[in-house]
Structure 1
Amino acid sequence: MENVARIVTICLVSSVLFACSYPLGELGLIKSSKEVKVFDLKAFSDKKIDFALVKSVPLRTCLECHTSGSRSMDTADKVLKLQNDILESIHKGSMPPKSSGYSALNDCEKKILETWIEDQVRGRAAAMLVKDIPACAGAKAPEVKPKTDFKNLELSFENLKKEILAPKCLSCHASDSPGYQYALDDLQRMKDNELILATADESLLYQVTVPGRVKYFMPPKNKGIPPLTADEQDYLKRWIEAGANE
């Protein structure tokens, strides 16, 4: 009993100094969180550099769009087929597209992708670990974006742009995208171009997302970008009919 009391005393001091709840949790005295940063960091650094890690780290934003068509990256074979284009785009900083609100890959993410590709090309059987890459020292796994609750999301242009237009439209239809007639990142320009009218059914912005409604369907299937989901279409419709406000 004396030993237990001593451990409890040490852990109470440790929890103040180092946010360490693990020993107390083991004793059943307090609930131990599984999301303590030091353990998350170790778990990530010990991961093998396999395709599952590549999909969840360097390609996680790519796979928000490129899941079908000629630019699909959802299998190892497809990524290897596109490896030169992918690496060139990543190193140029053109992908993930900044105009769609994405951040460029950091050095660790780039090295994970490069290492995996090199392993596949050279036929290396033993996969490296994240901690074996100098650029990944101290890195932790990226946070997974929770699924958007469109039913309760506030109706605003900023939310529409962030949750729908950025991943599904702005890679082509941004103000700095050459060769495209309509920019969808400027609300006033959209209204001036009459993409948004009084109702969703009258608005070209909404019409193009409904299969068979008009000649051109967006996003186009040959771009490999998934169409709007039912919840995304509903959000777009409600936003338009609520006044299409900022």
Structure 2
Amino acid sequence: MEELGLFKTGGLEIKGFSKFQNEKVSFDVVKSTALSTCLECHTSGGRSMNTAEKVLAQKDAILGAINKGSMPPRSAGYQPLNACEKQILETWIDDQVRSRSDVQKVGELSNCGDAEAPVQKPETDLATLELSFENLKKEILDPKCMVCHSTETARRTILETVADLQKHNLLAATAEESVLYQVTVPGMNKRFMPPQRGNTMLAPLTEAELSYMKRWIEAGAK
């Protein structure tokens, strides 16, 4: 099973078998598999995927991005969906569009015969997490910024290293003076990030994420 790489997108771990195989292809199953990485970012705004209705309204765009390989974004460290995850999503969408009542089980799908249940890793406690750029990048910049600001995707501003942040004058002595922090706080800078428009609409930073960034900057941004 380890070699198959099933359900490893977004840091999922492998656990369970028979119960998951007998699960019907429901939206809950879709959220825990095919959309697990999407929901790390797409939880609010026009690109939100946290309800069945919102996913169905964007089904063509979602399937197109997944099949093209642009989502989940590899630049942010994510892996593409595997064949089983894609089939779960496609099957659920097709069932909804056709209003099918006879819903298949996961184990009945041709690409999911060996699939085991995904279990989300515990959420990181940012309040106690060590202050470091490595942790800032992994927990905040990778999922919220690297779609546009990685070495591969950036037009101008790259956020891969502390040196990059300094080069682009994004850091100062305090968080309030630092552009990196300003643009992520609603109302502090007209250029709000992540952008709440277009194809890169991601969830804004949470209070915990903003607090971590602020503390990291004011601890010396190392």
Give TM-score scaled by structure 1 length.
0.79
- Quick check: which has more Rg, 1 or 2? 1
Q: CA deviation at 1:126?
A: 1.2
Counterpart-to-counterpart distance in 1, 2:117 and 2:147: 26
The counterpart of 2:157, out of the listed 182, 186, 192, is 182
Partner of 1:54: 30
Alignment of 1:1-246 (within 5 A): 40-179=16-155, 181-222=156-197, 223-245=200-222
Q: CA deviation at 1:178?
A: 4.8
Counterpart-to-counterpart distance in 1, 2:154 and 2:147: 11
Amino acid at match of 2:208: D
4+ aligned runs moved over 4 Å, structure 1: none
Counterpart-to-counterpart distance in 2, 1:201 and 1:191: 16
Amino acid at match of 1:123: S
> Counting helix residues as a fraction of each chain, which structure ranks higher?
1
Counterpart-to-counterpart distance in 1, 2:46 and 2:182: 25
Alpha carbons 1:175, 1:186 under 8 Å: kept? no
Counterpart of 1:79 in 2: which secondary structure?
helix
Percent identity between matched residues is 55
Partner of 2:3: none
Q: CA deviation at 1:154?
A: 1.3
198-207 or 108-117: bigger deviation: 198-207
Q: CA deviation at 1:187?
A: 2.3
Amino acid at match of 2:86: K
Greater relative contact order, per chain length (Cα 8 Å cut-off, separation 6+): 2
Partner of 1:3: none
Alpha carbons 1:51, 1:76 under 8 Å: kept? yes
Q: CA deviation at 1:219?
A: 1.8
Amino acid at match of 1:234: S
Q: CA deviation at 1:172?
A: 1.8
Q: CA deviation at 1:226?
A: 2.1
Counterpart-to-counterpart distance in 2, 1:230 and 1:160: 14
Amino acid at match of 1:101: G
Where in structure 1 are there 5+ consecutive unaligned residues?
1-35
Partner of 2:5: none
Amino acid at match of 2:63: L
Give TM-score scaled by structure 2 length.
0.87
Alpha carbons 1:45, 1:139 under 8 Å: kept? yes
Q: CA deviation at 1:146?
A: 1.1
Q: CA deviation at 1:62?
A: 0.6
Q: CA deviation at 1:127?
A: 0.8
Q: Please, what is the CA RMSD of the aligned residues?
A: 1.7
* Count of aligned pairs between the two proteins: 207
Where in structure 2 are there 5+ consecutive unaligned residues?
1-13
Counterpart-to-counterpart distance in 1, 2:212 and 2:143: 15
Q: CA deviation at 1:109?
A: 0.5
Counterpart of 1:43 in 2: which secondary structure?
helix
